[in-house]
Amino acid sequence: MTIQGAKRPGGERLIIIRSHLSNISPFSCIFCFEEAISVTSTLQATILSLRFLQVSSGLSDWALQTCKELGMKKPTPVQQHCIPRILSGEDVLGLAQTGSGKTAAFALPILHRLAEDPFGVFCLVVTPTRELAYQLAEQFRALGSCLNLRCAVVVGGMDMISQTQALMQRPHVVIATPGRIKVLIDQNPDIPAVFSKTKFLVLDEADRVLDVGFEEELRVVFKCLPDNRQTLLFSATMTSNLQSLLEVSANKAYFYEAYEGFQTVDTLKQQYVFIPKNVKDVYLLHVLSRMEDMEIRSAIIFVSTCRSCHLLALLMEELDQEVAALHSFKSQSSRLSALHRFKSGKVPVLLATDVASRGLDIPTVDLVINYDIPRYPRDYVHRVGRTARAGRGGLAISFITQNDVDLIHEIEADVGKKMEKFECKENEVLEDITKVYKAKRVATMKMMDDGFEEKAKARKAQKMKSLAEKGLLNKNDNKRRKRKRDHKQHR
């Protein structure tokens, strides 16, 4: 395989991939490629210099007007390069930072084609999390507001009969998580025919969708789709699975890359607080109490486990802090309610596990707090990417204990930036220590009474059983080593 390309001052690269490999992996069905032809430097320079009207000239007038109404004055680089390629019928793999406009990069050309030949199901979007699926649906509806767009969301935790009925009505766009769409296909023999004429398959947050845990689900989905579909993959990070796709490709696809490792945007201010583990909650309360003075409209606090998220929510409730909690132990209706309360501004703080670290775009988020430090640099990048989006500023504060020092050094090395110290006066912070400790005891007792621990044990047992049935226990054990390889390869 050979890679040819050009690099522009901003760091984006246009890459044409050549490969003559004959051994195709299970994922090779994603792309249909042909021999690539090298782009001359003159043509590359022309493409790279395109501005809004030039890039968007292939889009319909209604699409351009919708963009203007939504405040999209000019395309971002990923939109600038990918929209024309999608309109020309090419398969696309796009890698770009969080907050770079990847959703519009694929939604606009898909809606443009849909308007020319409206039928359902025209497009299937597969995404790793439920929250992201609902947000993608909102964005599709906003961009396709003048098309009377019919969009269905198919995710776990919701009524399967209603979802089956929605699919049988053949909406224009289906946005689904891998597990639920597989279940519906397996249980209803009429569902595969719904996707027999689908024109577009999109894998959003493709690095997560192509995770080994979704391999079987994707195979089932791919069997329902026509071979002549157009396939679009978008991700903020490169992984070994995505790299493998490129290496086994026997034909042509367009690969856009504005990715140079685990990068964060320049408008993001990254700070840390080095504290003993037993006073993290005290410091958290102090930071939240300063939100108004710091002119922070809303904040997301990331924790590592559902248990921590649940306990912290109970603690904040005892401390009279208005928060919403989002984690996978909650029912889907509760998750949607929490997200709605936060997005609408009814509560200024969202407590969340990494279920909220991908794709969520909430313009009012000015602060991200890493209450627990993530184990992998790419997860840090996705978390802090919930703020400082689309050119806006933002602040990320990481709570570092003595056990987190190595993780922070690894994150700083991969991101290429040193965190600054978040200034706070210890004597002021510790004024509330007694109040916080009392509230923590009450919160812990409430968690014992509400049966959370029993639910956690039952869920863990069910998860292990499911992994064993899929034969993924050993593969799951290797995930950590695989992630390590991924970020080391792209430092």
Nearest CA to 378 out of 10, 95, 129 is that of 95
Q: What pLDDT, in 10s, does the model give residues 333-380?
A: 999 999 999 999 999 999 999 988 887 888 999 999 999 999 999 899
Q: What pLDDT, in 10s, does the model give residues 376-395?
A: 998 999 999 999 987 889 99
Q: What percent of the chain has pLDDT over 90?
A: 64
Rounded average pLDDT over 439-459? 89
Is the model more confident about 17 or about 266?
Answer: 266
CB-side neighbour CA atoms (13 Å) of 6: 15
Q: What pLDDT, in 10s, does the model give residues 220-247?
A: 999 999 999 999 999 987 888 887 776 6
259-273, 356-370, 454-468, range with the lowest pLDDT: 454-468
The segment(s) of the chain belonging to CATH 3.40.50.300 are: 2-257, 268-450
Predicted pLDDT of residue 53: 44
Predicted pLDDT of residue 31: 43
Nearest CA to 368 out of 459, 444, 270, 266 is that of 270
What's the CA gap between 173 and 157, in Å, rounded? 20
Contact criterion met (CB below 8 Å) for 356 and 326: yes
Dihedral pair phi/psi, residue 2, rounded to 5°: -120, 150
What's the CA gap between 214 and 487, in Å, rounded? 21
Q: Per the structure block, which two tokens stand in for 232?
A: 């679009």
Helix (H) or strand (E) holding 126: strand 123-126
Rounded average pLDDT over 309-337? 94
Rounded average pLDDT over 112-118? 95
Q: Per the structure block, which two tokens stand in for 201?
A: 């398959």
Q: What pLDDT, in 10s, does the model give residues 285-310?
A: 999 999 999 999 999 999 999 999 99
Termini Cα distance of the chain? 22
Bridge partners of 365?
298
**Is it the case that residue 85 has pLDDT exceeding 90?**
yes
Domain 268-450 is found in CATH 3.40.50.300: yes
User: Per mean pLDDT, which of 68-82, 250-264, 308-322, 456-470 is the most reliable?
Assistant: 308-322
CATH superfamily of 2-257: P-loop containing nucleotide triphosphate hydrolases (3.40.50.300)
Sign of the torsion angle spanned by Cα atoms 8, 12, 16, 20: positive
By three-state DSSP, how is residue 207 classified?
Answer: helix
By three-state DSSP, how is residue 174 classified?
Answer: strand
Q: Per the structure block, which two tokens stand in for 387?
A: 């703020």
Contact criterion met (CB below 8 Å) for 153 and 137: yes
Rounded average pLDDT over 387-408? 94
CB-side neighbour CA atoms (13 Å) of 86: 34
Predicted pLDDT of residue 52: 47
Q: Is the preceding peptide bond at 405 cis, omega within 30 degrees of 0?
A: no
The residue count of the chain comes to 491
Predicted pLDDT of residue 479: 56
Number of other residues whose CB lies within 10 A of the CB of residue 104 = 22
**Is it the case that residue 214 has pLDDT exceeding 50?**
yes
**Is it the case that residue 481 has pLDDT exceeding 60?**
no
Predicted pLDDT of residue 269: 97
What's the CA gap between 138 and 149, in Å, rounded? 11
Amino acid in the structure at residue 122: F
The position carrying tokens 């600054």 is 420
User: Per mean pLDDT, which of 5-19, 410-424, 457-471 is the most reliable?
Assistant: 410-424
pTM: 0.75
Rounded average pLDDT over 46-54? 39
Dihedral pair phi/psi, residue 223, rounded to 5°: -65, -25
